[in-house]
Amino acid sequence: MREEVIAEKFAQALGRLNFGEDVLQWVSTALRESHADQRKEHDAVIARLQTECERLQNRMHAMYIDKLDGSVDRSFHTQMSEQRRAEREKLMQEITLHQVADDCHFN
């Protein structure tokens, strides 16, 4: 049997379904609760990633002060700064991906 025929028969079968008001209300409530849970999880992930970005930024500032004070040499500072920047960039990309995914969810 062709896919188009199956899809048409399935659509016809679904069209014959009739749900009562109580079932529709339950589905609506479940969707709202699910959305609220997803939103909380999304916000928690974004907050965690932003906190990690701030932590890396603070480490970079502290390392710069250590370099100025002579506590660390230039090559170590350069190496660690590059590593921290790469980590921070990765975190910022993750934040962007989560924000884009959240925007796409509503389309």
Q: Could you report the per-residue pLDDT of 6-47, keeping only the tens digit for each?
A: 998 888 888 888 888 898 899 999 999 998 898 899 999 999
* pLDDT for residue 2: 85
Residue 85 confidence class, pLDDT cut points 50, 70, 90: very high
Q: Is the pLDDT of residue 107 over 60?
A: no
In a domain, 102, yes or no: yes
Judge whether 51 lies within some domain.
Answer: yes
Does 2 fall in a domain?
no
Give yes or no for residue 103 having a pLDDT over 80.
no
pLDDT value of residue 24: 87
Host domain of residue 96:
44-107
Measured from the Cβ of residue 91, the count of other Cβ atoms closer than 10 Å reads 19
User: Distance between CA 85 and CA 104 in Å, rounded?
Assistant: 28
Helix ranges (H only) for 1-105 are 3-15, 21-69, 74-105
Is residue 88 pLDDT above 90, yes or no?
A: yes
Looking at the structure of the chain, the number of domains it has is 1
Main-chain phi, psi angles of 70, to 5 degrees: 85, 10
- How far apart are alpha carbons 29 and 44 in whole angstroms? 23
In a domain, 8, yes or no: no
Residue at 68 is within a domain: yes
Question: What integer pLDDT is reported at residue 35 of this predicted model?
Answer: 86
DSSP 82: H
The residue type of 70 is G
Query: Does 106 map to a domain?
Result: yes
In the chain, the percentage of residues whose pLDDT exceeds 90 is 49
